[in-house]
Amino acid sequence: MAEIMNEIGITDEAVLEPKLVGDVAGEFYVPSYQRGYRWRTEQIKMLLNDIWENGDLNYCLQPIVVKKLGEAKFELIDGQQRLTSIYLILKYMKQLLPFIDMKFSLSYETRKRSAEFLLSLDPNQANDNIDFHHMFNAFQYINTWFEDKATGDKGLKAINLYKYFGEKVKFIWYEVNTSEDSTDLFTRLNIGKIPLTNAELVKALFLSKDNNSISDEKQIEIATSWDIIEKELHNKDLYAFITNEAPDKFATRIELLFDMMSEKKKDEKEPFFTFFFFIEKIKTESKIEIWKEIQEYFLTLKEWFDKGDVYHKVGYLVAIGEDLQKIISNSISLTKSDFQAGLANKIKQSLNLSREKIFELNYENKNDKPVIEKLLLLFNVETVASLKHSFERYSFESHKRKFWSLEHIHAQNSIGLNKKEQQQDWLRLHRASLMRLHEKGKQQEQIVVLIKRIDEHYEIITKVIFDMLFADVFALLSENEDRSYMDSISNMALLSSADNSALSNSTFDVKRNKILEMDKDGLYIPICTRRVFLKYYTESKDHQLHFWGVQDREAYMEAMVGKEGILLKYLIPTTKAD
């Protein structure tokens, strides 16, 4: 991180601060190493619309990087396009509102007539060169935007926009060390495409020179601690414990920590929201105090990660979308025992289910699906957490690395099996199951006939024939009973989604053998799903490995929500309405 700060010119001599557009003043000198103005009308339109639609809320423009050349004179190293566009907007608004003060100007090392053209914007000179062309076109579009009556009167728009410039719209202002090599810095910023993230900007606050500066020794201490936290957050299990965000979302993981501290919402449009949060904190707290808060925040998360019971409850709540920041805030005033009890209660509230309601859940009801998923995830998490003689913990990292879906433990239809290759794959897998059942000496004649039919039609399969074979195979590999259970939670498990539709529509025996293969290969399978297909919940006297029968379903639900069920403590009492 320190290398990045130095690479973009942020040292202890640099100035870093948000600056209102209305406060930008002075002469900005554009050196020869920069190209001319190139913004098109689409970019001007986006800028105006974004500022206008943002209204009376804070809005941050991308950074401008400058080096002071003298009193109120700056070399404009990066941000020429943005600053020129703002100048053109202000120039247009001054025609409508003469009281507007043009506080800054632009001059050019090699395109000296550009400064004069910006003052006049003479249409007769608009095609003299490419710079004039783009400047004039931008100004023309600004006029079009203000004249658009669909968004209101142009004078009123100008008044409001000028107000936003003076109160809400800001640049991130980088004033680099005067000894910095401008050409080299420009090259690194624009060719290297160095990302400017909230985390980098927050760290720059601790490095930049201002009235809230800290000693060199403290800066070194913070930098070292920063690197330690960043390294810890690259622990994939810790990262997955605290967030559902993809790891590649953050260039530096510590930004996630800062986002949480700032209570940044997922739909926040301000890209530098977190940076501004810390800007405001520094106004009322010392940098040392703020850094202590950052460390304490991280250590709280690390402590929860290291404590098994808290780890599983907090990890589950995060996985189902609960706000970790709120959990942290609520924990501050609680004893450890009250905090843990509060976590259990929060899980109970998130489910809001009685035992009776669980048995009414149905896969075909779109509102029930997410509830079943939450319930089965909790079943898996709590099962691992309850292992008394094991150091195993539920792997939220493995869980979040894949996409999981509800799967029927025993399937009943051929929906989705429309291609010949899919149908042949399904028949091949189930022919093997029929052979195993035949070896057990059961339903010998029926099986032999069915296998023969599969072999006869395998190469010339049609949808009509496949559906008939599907029904007959399903009947042989199922118990002869009422099948109303098919979409109930007693026939549901969490399985990794895959393109293999033949497996998704397979009977229990085929899925069981596939799960065994995956387990042998060391692939991640949720513990309860593995136990289902190993018949872990069913007493040995009731074992019949080829079917998912009534005894299996009852034992499964008993382990989940029976008298000693692992989820019973998270269920609400039965009401009379139930």
Dist. CA 47–CA 415, nearest whole Å: 49
pLDDT in tens, the chain (578 residues): 444 444 444 444 567 788 999 999 999 999 988 888 999 999 999 999 999 998 888 888 888 889 999 999 999 988 899 999 999 999 999 999 999 999 999 998 887 788 899 999 999 999 988 889 999 999 999 999 999 988 889 999 999 999 999 999 998 888 887 777 777 777 666 654 445 678 878 887 776 655 556 777 887 888 889 989 999 999 999 999 999 999 888 888 999 999 999 999 888 878 888 988 998 898 899 889 999 999 999 999 999 999 988 999 999 999 999 999 999 988 988 888 899 999 999 999 999 999 999 999 999 999 999 999 999 999 999 999 999 878 889 999 999 888 888 888 887 666 667 778 878 877 887 788 788 777 766 677 888 888 899 899 989 999 899 888 888 887 777 765 566 788 899 999 988 776 445 457 777 878 888 888 888 888 888 999 999 988 899 887 655 666 787 788 899 999 999 999 999 999 998 765 55
Residue type, 132: F
Under 8 Å between Cβ of 418 and 466? no
Dist. CA 258–CA 291, nearest whole Å: 11
Angle value at C-alpha 199, between 196 and 201, nearest 5 degrees = 60
Amino acid 414: pLDDT = 62
User: Cα–Cα distances in Å, from 571 out to 173, 227, 229, 314?
Assistant: 54, 43, 38, 18
Amino acid 546: pLDDT = 66
Dist. CA 331–CA 339, nearest whole Å: 6
Amino acid 543: pLDDT = 58
Residue type, 166: G
Amino acid 541: pLDDT = 62
Under 8 Å between Cβ of 23 and 66? no
Tell me how crowded residue 89 is: count the other CB atoms within 10 A of its CB.
24
Amino acid 498: pLDDT = 60
Q: 198: closest CA among 272, 295, 112?
A: 272
Tell me the DSSP string of 420-432: HHHHHHHHHHHHH
Could you list the beta-strand ranges (E) of 414-524: 492-496
Dist. CA 65–CA 542, nearest whole Å: 75
Under 8 Å between Cβ of 49 and 55? no
pTM: 0.71
Angle value at C-alpha 249, between 248 and 254, nearest 5 degrees = 95
Amino acid 290: pLDDT = 92
Tokens of residue 319, six digits: 């996985």
Tokens of residue 388, six digits: 């008394």
Q: 535: closest CA among 523, 545, 522?
A: 545
- In DSSP terms, 16 is beta-bridged to 174
3-state secondary structure of 498: coil
HSE-up (13 A, CA, CB side) for residue 394: 28
Under 8 Å between Cβ of 552 and 538? yes
Dist. CA 417–CA 420, nearest whole Å: 8
Amino acid 435: pLDDT = 83
- In DSSP terms, 405 is beta-bridged to 495
Amino acid 495: pLDDT = 83
Dist. CA 454–CA 436, nearest whole Å: 15
Residue corresponding to tokens 């669909």: 150
Residue type, 424: Q
3-state secondary structure of 19: strand
Dist. CA 64–CA 438, nearest whole Å: 77
Backbone angles phi, psi at 443, to 5 degrees: 45, 50
Residue corresponding to tokens 């930098």: 223
| Residue 180, C-beta contacts closer than 8 angstroms, at least 6 positions apart | 9, 67
Dist. CA 241–CA 316, nearest whole Å: 8
Dist. CA 123–CA 83, nearest whole Å: 22
Tokens of residue 21, six digits: 């557009």
Q: Is 530 exposed, middle or buried (0-12, 13-18, 19+ CB in 10 A)?
A: middle
| Residue 306, C-beta contacts closer than 8 angstroms, at least 6 positions apart | none
Dist. CA 4–CA 2, nearest whole Å: 5
3-state secondary structure of 211: coil
Give the rounded distance of the alpha carbon of 209 from its chain centre: 34
